[in-house]
């Protein structure tokens, strides 16, 4: 074990995978999703001339999911996710006119999410406006180095039973707080199919070492996290993460692009194409310390194999750096016209693979799903369906992040050569995962997703269980 002086006072963090049994999670999802229909009756419904098994929604509707879990290091997680919809006179159904998404959660050790998103589809002709304000406190944000498999991930470093190699359960973590304010707009170029996209976002990021005093508060002796250097601390010490980046910073981004969209339904597409090309820039004239530009190309396509029952969908995407230098604290973000995903790995990109495992200047992403809707009915005047899915996710770094390794020395109980080997462990190759999911949909747009993914390589982790809203794409 190698100890470090407590020289960092800043704090922050993400949350490790919460431990809760699958049956209990499914029970929570089903009970809450169904029970909400008893109180969401302020709307009216009328029979669809096109679909006798579904009602056209008008007026107001909402759904919600509770958040309940426990983690040894982060404590109890509790909170709620709510999504409110307004369909107007129903002429746009299954599309809504307005959506308000609210997420609030906390852990007893200090991590938290505070998210407000408003989506308006009536302000701009054939367009939309989306506003977001979020504040995220992450006590143990995943950090596994750069360039995928080049950076060594050793399960023995975080396995307390390995008395020879164990360092800390949170060796691959650091602290983070982030404020994000964004406004995105889309407008018509050719009808609803071809649209322009433009947006601006402010990202205030604060980075630091683990707050061990808080994390260890109330722990039994055998659960105490050791006062030792994490991977983040070593990268800072060696100068791989430079002094002007180690504490985070403020970044204002401009986004511009085009979107081609022929989907029949945004929330649960049966057929169509959704493709886009985006340019993301952090120009210096907006006060950015790091001036850089990147682009994102994403193509999604949906095929009906059996009408109203079976759909095959895939997503192919690449995001890469055009010029400048992306600071390490902005590297994990993955952009689209819909939202910002954090980390290549985890619930929204590579299910079953460790969050932020695949981080570089440019990466490709591929997802494929077979979706089988085996139940569709109307319950208490609410359209309800359950869909089973099987999926395959894959990613690879195609544009490596360059860094200065001259500061790497013989330290932390290893020689310089041994330390360097952990930075250049092996050549990058494809990261793969696979798994299955269940999706519970109410009125088409409110979809509770339960996905379980397994990593194809132990150097990407083992597995992950994720509960949230909406399909992956």
Does the pLDDT at position 177 exceed 70?
A: yes
- Cβ-count burial of 35 within 10 angstroms (0-12 exposed, 13-18 middle, 19+ buried)? exposed
Least confident of 61-65, 79-83, 187-191: 61-65
Residue 339 in domain = yes
As a whole number, mean pLDDT of residues 143-160 equals: 95
Cis peptide before 445 (omega within 30 of 0): no
Least confident of 124-133, 254-263, 308-317, 405-414: 124-133
β-bridge mates for residue 246, sequence order: none
CA 361 – CA 325 distance, rounded (Å):
9
Residue 435 in domain = yes
Whose tokens are 């105490």? That residue is 224
Output the CA angle 56-57-61, nearest 5 degrees: 160
As a whole number, mean pLDDT of residues 234-241 equals: 98
As a whole number, mean pLDDT of residues 269-284 equals: 97
Residue 15 in domain = no
Question: How many alpha carbons fall within 13 Å on the CB side of residue 283?
Answer: 6
Token pair recorded at residue 109: 């050790």
Does the pLDDT at position 45 exceed 60?
A: no
As a whole number, mean pLDDT of residues 335-344 equals: 91
Torsion of CA 391, 397, 399, 402, to 10 degrees: 150
Instruction: Output 247 or 47, whichever has higher pLDDT.
Output: 247
Look at residue 161 in the predicted model and tell me its pLDDT. 92
- Cβ-count burial of 425 within 10 angstroms (0-12 exposed, 13-18 middle, 19+ buried)? middle
Q: Where are the beta strands (DSSP E) in 191-286?
A: 194-208, 248-261, 272-282
Q: For residue 416, give the 3-state DSSP assignment.
A: helix
What is the residue range of 121's domain? 22-469
Residue 12 in domain = no
CA 378 – CA 311 distance, rounded (Å):
21
Look at residue 445 in the predicted model and tell me its pLDDT. 85
Size of the chain in residues: 473
Residue 11 in domain = no
How many domains does the chain fold into?
A: 1
Look at residue 101 in the predicted model and tell me its pLDDT. 94
Residue 342 — pLDDT band, cuts 50, 70, 90? confident
Residue 14 in domain = no
* 389 φ/ψ sector (left φ>0, alpha ψ -120 to 50, else beta): beta
Residue 3 in domain = no
CATH number at residue 271: 2.40.160.50
Look at residue 71 in the predicted model and tell me its pLDDT. 63
Residue 72 — pLDDT band, cuts 50, 70, 90? low
pLDDT in tens, 285-296: 999 999 999 999
Does the pLDDT at position 48 exceed 60?
A: no
Backbone angles phi, psi at 390, to 5 degrees: -120, 140
pLDDT in tens, 204-213: 999 999 999 9
Q: What is the mean pLDDT of the chain?
A: 88
Token pair recorded at residue 414: 């290893």
Look at residue 32 in the predicted model and tell me its pLDDT. 43
Look at residue 73 in the predicted model and tell me its pLDDT. 65
Considering only CA atoms, which of 182, 181, 218, 174 is closest in space to residue 198? 182
Cβ contacts of 97 within 8 Å, gap of 6 or more: 86, 87, 88, 120, 121, 122
Look at residue 5 in the predicted model and tell me its pLDDT. 40
Considering only CA atoms, which of 293, 181, 288 is closest in space to residue 245? 288
Look at residue 60 in the predicted model and tell me its pLDDT. 87
- Percent of all residues in the chain with a pLDDT value above 70, rounded to a whole number: 87
* Cβ neighbours of 78 (radius 10 Å): 15
Residue 133 in domain = yes
pLDDT in tens, 420-468: 999 999 999 999 999 999 999 988 888 989 999 999 999 999 999 888 8
């Amino acid at each position: 074990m190698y100890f470090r002086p407590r020289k960092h006072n800043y704090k922050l963090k993400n949350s490790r995978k919460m431990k809760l049994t699958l049956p209990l999670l499914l029970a929570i999802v089903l009970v809450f999703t169904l029970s909400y229909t008893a109180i969401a009756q302020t709307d009216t419904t009328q029979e669809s001339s096109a679909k006798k098994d579904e009602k056209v929604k008008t007026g107001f509707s909402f759904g919600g999911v509770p958040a309940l879990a426990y983690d040894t290091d982060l404590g109890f997680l509790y909170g709620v996710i709510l999504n409110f919809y307004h369909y107007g006179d129903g002429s746009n159904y299954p599309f809504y006119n307005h959506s308000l998404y609210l997420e609030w959660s906390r852990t007893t050790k200090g991590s938290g999410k505070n998210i407000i998103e408003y989506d308006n589809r009536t302000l701009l002709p054939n367009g939309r406006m989306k506003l977001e304000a979020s504040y995220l406190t992450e006590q143990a944000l995943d950090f596994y180095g750069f360039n995928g498999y080049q950076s060594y991930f050793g399960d023995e470093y975080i396995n307390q039973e390995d008395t020879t190699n164990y360092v800390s359960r949170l060796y691959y973590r650091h602290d983070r707080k982030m404020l994000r304010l964004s406004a995105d707009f889309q407008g018509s170029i050719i009808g609803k199919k071809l649209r322009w996209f433009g947006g601006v976002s402010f990202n205030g990021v604060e980075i630091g070492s683990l707050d061990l005093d808080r994390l260890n508060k109330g722990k039994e002796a055998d659960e105490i996290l050791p006062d030792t250097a994490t991977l983040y601390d070593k990268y800072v010490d060696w100068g791989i993460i430079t002094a002007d980046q180690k504490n985070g910073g403020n970044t204002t981004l401009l986004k511009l692009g085009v979107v081609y969209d022929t989907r029949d339904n945004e929330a649960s597409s049966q057929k169509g194409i959704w493709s886009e090309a985006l340019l993301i820039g952090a120009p210096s004239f907006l006060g950015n310390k790091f001036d850089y530009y990147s682009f994102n190309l994403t193509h999604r396509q949906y095929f009906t194999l059996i009408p109203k029952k079976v759909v095959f969908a895939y997503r192919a995407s690449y995001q890469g750096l055009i010029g400048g230098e992306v600071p390490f604290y902005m590297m994990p973000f993955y952009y689209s016209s819909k939202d910002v995903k954090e980390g290549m790995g985890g619930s929204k990109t590579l299910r079953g693979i460790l969050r932020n495992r695949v981080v570089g200047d440019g990466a490709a992403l591929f997802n494929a799903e077979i979706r089988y809707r085996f139940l569709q009915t109307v319950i208490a005047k609410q359209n309800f369906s359950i869909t089973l899915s099987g999926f395959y996710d894959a990613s690879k770094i195609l544009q490596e992040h360059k860094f200065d390794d001259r500061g790497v020395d013989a330290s932390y109980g290893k020689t310089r050569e041994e330390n360097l080997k952990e930075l250049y462990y092996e050549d990058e190759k494809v990261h793969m995962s696979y798994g299955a999911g269940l999706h519970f949909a109410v009125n088409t747009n409110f979809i509770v997703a339960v996905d379980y993914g397994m990593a194809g390589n132990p150097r990407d982790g083992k597995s992950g269980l994720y509960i949230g809203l909406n399909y992956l794409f």
